[in-house]
Amino acid sequence: MSGLENKIIISTRPLSADDSIKRNLVEKGARVLDFPMIEICPLKLGESIRELLQQIASFQWIVFTSKNGADCFFKLLTQLSIKTDAIDQVKIAVVGKKTSEEVVKNKCTPYLLSTGTTSVDLLQDLIGKVVPTDRILLVLGELADNTLEQGLENVASPTRLNVYQTLYPGVHSKELIESIQRNEYDMILFTSPSGFEQFKKIMPEKILATDFRSACIGRTTEKAMINSNCQPRFVSRRSEGESFVNELELYFNN
């Protein structure tokens, strides 16, 4: 029997039709309750975005740090009737398997797949491969930090393009809030600092006590939780659904 059989996992991830973590949890017998703390909303095609994308072939690199960023970027190209042929000669750098798969789905091939899982890892992989004359388009969300911009500005010419924003739902499930207060769950999953911060805002402070059972993905999410005196029970560096769920299953087995 799977260590996840009949476990109640509350997911604070944005709702998505392609949620590989949820799918893999359900396949192993877990009961997944959606409790989204954030929504990913593509930015509208404004004049500044239009002008930048119409010059897309003049860049030597395009950098994606998330599946959401890649998805929104290619949708913007479609709105402008720009075919992916326009970036055939542009090198694409990505971090994460899901981001790479999104790029491939849009008929492009990543030139560089970071060996790590964060923007810092991707930065280290890029430095040494770029030259001062390279123009680099950084495709990001509005809440992304300046790690890549600051790290590349002395070795090349980076340009930031925000393609999506993070919104906070106005209404949350009263039933799920009460279930958490009654301790009726096995693990609450966080995959972003913004998701955790929103959860903290809507829940009573006592919920984040020592018996709070939470899991998170990534160092930045872990850091945000620890800064709020909330130590996650389980931390994974793997954002891919199957790998993460296998790690979580081992945690429960042990």
Q: What single-letter amino acid sits at 128?
A: G
Within 8 A by CB and 6+ apart from 26, the residues are 32
Residues 84 and 106 in one domain: yes
Please report the pLDDT score of residue 210 as a whole number: 67
User: Last residue of a domain, which of 166, 195, 223?
Assistant: 166
Please report the pLDDT score of residue 219 as a whole number: 83
**How do the pLDDT tens digits run along the chain, 254 residues long?**
688 999 999 999 998 877 889 999 999 999 999 999 999 999 999 999 999 999 999 999 999 999 999 999 999 999 999 999 999 999 999 998 889 999 999 999 999 999 887 888 899 999 989 999 999 999 999 989 999 999 999 999 999 999 999 999 888 899 999 999 999 999 999 999 999 999 999 998 888 876 899 999 888 899 999 999 999 999 987 767 788 899 999 999 98
With 0-12 / 13-18 / 19 or more C-beta atoms within 10 angstroms meaning exposed / middle / buried, residue 165 is: middle
* CA quadruple 167, 92, 119, 24: dihedral sign: positive
State the CATH number of the domain containing residue 228.
3.40.50.10090
CA separation for the pair 248, 243 (Å, rounded): 9
Please report the pLDDT score of residue 16 as a whole number: 84
Residues 131 and 191 in one domain: no
pLDDT digits (tens, 9 = 90+) for 30-71: 999 999 999 999 999 999 999 999 999 999 999 999 999 999
Please report the pLDDT score of residue 207 as a whole number: 86
Q: Which of 195, 141, 203 is nearest to 168 (CA)?
A: 195
Please report the pLDDT score of residue 57 as a whole number: 95
Q: Which of 70, 57, 59, 5 is nearest to 32 (CA)?
A: 5
Residues 86 and 157 in one domain: yes
The number of residues making up the chain comes to 254
Q: Under DSSP, is residue 10 helix (H, G, I), strand (E, B) or coil?
A: strand
User: Last residue of a domain, which of 166, 191, 219?
Assistant: 166
Residues 138 and 91 in one domain: yes
Please report the pLDDT score of residue 146 as a whole number: 93
* CA quadruple 119, 120, 126, 130: dihedral sign: positive
CA separation for the pair 75, 239 (Å, rounded): 23
Within 8 A by CB and 6+ apart from 92, the residues are 61, 62, 63, 64, 103, 108, 109, 110, 111, 112
Please report the pLDDT score of residue 98 as a whole number: 85
Cβ proximity of 198 and 225 under 8 Å: no
Please report the pLDDT score of residue 1 as a whole number: 66
Q: Is residue 3 included in any domain, yes or no? A: no
Q: Is residue 175 included in any domain, yes or no? A: yes
Continuous H helices in the chain: 20-27, 47-54, 67-79, 97-105, 119-126, 147-152, 174-181, 193-202, 219-227, 241-253
* Residue 243 lies in domain: 8-38+170-253
Q: Which of 242, 247, 184 is nearest to 211 (CA)?
A: 184
With 0-12 / 13-18 / 19 or more C-beta atoms within 10 angstroms meaning exposed / middle / buried, residue 81 is: exposed
User: Last residue of a domain, which of 166, 187, 218?
Assistant: 166
Cβ proximity of 185 and 213 under 8 Å: yes
CA separation for the pair 190, 215 (Å, rounded): 6
pLDDT digits (tens, 9 = 90+) for 66-92: 999 999 999 999 999 999 999 999 999
Q: Which of 164, 162, 157, 153 is nearest to 59 (CA)?
A: 157
